Structure 1
Amino acid sequence: MPESQEMLDFFSRPGPLTGLGEYQKHLRTLPAELPALVAALQNLTVHIFWTERYGLILDETRRSEVEIRPAAPKLKRLLELDARPLNEPRPLELRLVSNCRDYSILMAAILRAQGIPARARCGFGTYFMPDHYEDHWMVEVWDAAGQRWLRVDSQLDELQREALRIDFDPLDMPEGKFVLAGDAWRMCRAGQADPDHFGIFEWHGWDFIRGDVFRDLLALNKIEVLPWDSWGLLQTPFAECTPEQQALVDEAARISAAGDVAACRKFYRENEGFQAPGEWIKV
């Protein structure tokens, strides 16, 4: 899908949660090519839901690393654990504990620091469990040569790819492997999918999907909130929202699924119930 230069410029600059500040200098040793960069990130991080598969047991202090919202403090924590250059793989116990959102915003932060357009996206992966849409994040990276967004799942290392029997390229995922939150919402509203098939663990259904619609809308505004953040209109169950409020969710789903960034930015400015608390984005 063609993008305007204005939008590409927008996503090539850090947002409030992806600016790296004094930690940007540590990126110098990282490789420039996307496959090598993804591999380097995987050697610096460990996914919180896969730790036991790697043979790693975490205490609560280590598990709380996924609560760090901005990218810069994440890099700070990583370097506190191991101060070596970022191109050097860490042993498992010295890697930053992360989740899918963290892999995505760290990739976005690193690429934006290099002036490469990148944007985290929130939605659902179809490759984790059969007949299930798993709550998930990935990052879209602009391919200047192909003039399109590549969908990249940067958490899928060799162990995960083998365990999940991944049969596609995680650095250029085909259509259907990842369902944007807005598309999931629209599928369910049209009766084409069961909302209870969307979620993670015991959390699923209409209100869960709606939360991901909010998160993806904000990500297109370069505000990448935590997967469990709840604010504004999300604190009212969808069934209790007014028809006008429900229509706003439908519109947010439509414009975010379409990737209409200009409309998403305008919508975010004009609808207070969708706006993230200011303290979340003051870094």
Structure 2
Amino acid sequence: MDDLEFYRTQSPVTDPGRPLDLPADPGTLAKVVGGVLVHRDWAATFGVDLPEHRRDEADIRFVAAMLERLGSLDERPPSARLAVTCRDFVVLLVALLRACGIPARARAGFAGYFVDGFNDDHWVAEVWQDGRGWYLLDAQVAGGPPGIYDTGDLDPLDVPRDGFLVGGQAWQECRTGRRDPATVGVRSAGLSGLWEAQGNVVRDLAALAGAEVLPWDSWGIIPAHYDELPEPDRALLDRVATVSTAGGPLRAAREALGWDPRLAVPPELTRRPA
């Protein structure tokens, strides 16, 4: 199976569990996703007073479970949408794109278009178009009403590469001093630095290899704080970051996950319940 065929094929996470009849247009599909999901941290912007217990909806790991909870992909009021995170917008969109035969994959990294001067933890979709190659699509922004996210003149259907840093690129730029680590992280939680980039280096590699984990999944080398990492471990992440930044190829991503047991994705994070 070549790379494009692999990214046309559903992963255990994106498999919808049933046939889907959809228009093969990324922009239209992003609107479909936006009509059934609302970001739990942006719910108030949509006029939704989200009860605390509904924040747990973001723990739904598999697209099939999302669809079972939703019942259909019909647009609904924001209060009736699943309350999720950016990752869920992406995996649902990737599932719909793959169902239409369009190669697509999730990318974990940092967006520089929500807050001036800061690169916030975020996920986007990467979509293949013949004659164009891979391009970035922000499913969360594209699926929402125009202007609600205050991202200026950003085209969410064609996010510039300097607007979204995949995990590996953020790591490389912080490690080499091209970017201040204090400008990379989770602004709402007051978290920044190379440890924040460290997690998305590994999560992005996992997504490239077909394992779309949750944004807070932590295993192996991820929990070890950057300040306490020995230099060989930092060098290992430098190598991983090179694969993430290049976007593979698939064989390289799979090989990289085998470089160290601490990189391998635990099976329970992508194993669908029986």
TM-score band by shorter chain is: over 0.9
How many residue pairs are counted as aligned between the two chains? 268
Paired residues for 1:227-266 under 5 Å: 227-261=215-249, 262-266=251-255
Identical-residue share of aligned pairs (%): 39
Q: TM-score, normalised by structure 2?
A: 0.92
Matches within 5 A, 1:42-191: 42-79=34-71, 85-86=72-73, 88-144=74-130, 146-156=131-141, 157-159=143-145, 161-191=147-177
Q: Distance in 2 between matches of 1:245 and 1:96?
A: 38
* Contact 2:168–2:240 (8 Å) recurs in 1: yes
Paired residues of 2:31 and 2:144 also in contact (CA < 8 A): no
Gaps (5+ residues) in structure 1?
80-84
Deviations 1:167-207 (A, max 9, x none): 03211122311111111111111111111111112121111
Counterpart of 2:192 in structure 1 is 204
Aligned to 1:19: 15
**Residue 19 of structure 1 aligns to which amino acid in structure 2?**
D
Counterpart AA for 1:58:
L
**What is the match of residue 28 of structure 2?**
36
1:248-281 CA-to-partner distances (Å, cap 9, x unmatched) read 1110011110112221111113421011221111
Aligned partner letter, 1:186: Q
User: For each residue in 1:218-257, what CA deviation from the matched residue of structure 2 results, as whole angstroms up to 9, or x when unmatched?
Assistant: 0101111111111111122222223222111110011110
Q: Aligned pair 1:221/2:209, yes or no?
A: yes
- Give the deviation of 1:163 after TM superposition: 4.2
Contact 2:111–2:119 under 8 Å retained in 1: yes
- Counterpart amino acid of residue 130 in structure 1: D
Shift of 1:135: 0.7
Alpha-carbon distance, 1:149 to partner:
1.1
Q: Tell whether the 8 Å contact from 2:212 to 2:270 is kept in structure 1 after alignment.
A: no
**How large is the Cα RMSD of the aligned pairs?**
1.6
* Cα separation, 1, equivalents of 2:86 and 2:111: 11
SS in 2 for 1:239: helix
Counterpart residue type for residue 15 of structure 2: G
Distance in 2 between residues matched to 1:38 and 1:236, nearest whole Å: 36
* Distance in 2, Cα, partners of 1:259 & 1:194: 23
Taking the TM superposition and a 5 Å limit, the aligned residue runs for 1:264-279 are 264-279=253-268
**Kindly tell me: are residues 239 and 158 of structure 1, through their superposed partners in 2, closer, same or farther at Cα, counting changes over 3 Å?**
closer
| Amino acid in the other structure paired with 1:117 | P
- My pick for the range that moved more, 30-39 or 6-15, is 30-39
Give the AA of the match of 2:242. R
Q: Name the CA shift for 1:62/1:238 in 2 (closer, same or farther; >3 Å).
A: same
Give the TM-score normalised by the residue count of structure 1: 0.90
Look up the SS of the partner of 1:138 in the other structure.
strand
Q: For 1:28-72, what per-residue CA distance to the aligned partner results, in whole angstroms no more than 9, with x for missing partners? A: 2x3322221111111111111111111101223321110111111
Question: How far is the alpha carbon of 1:158 from its aligned partner?
Answer: 4.6
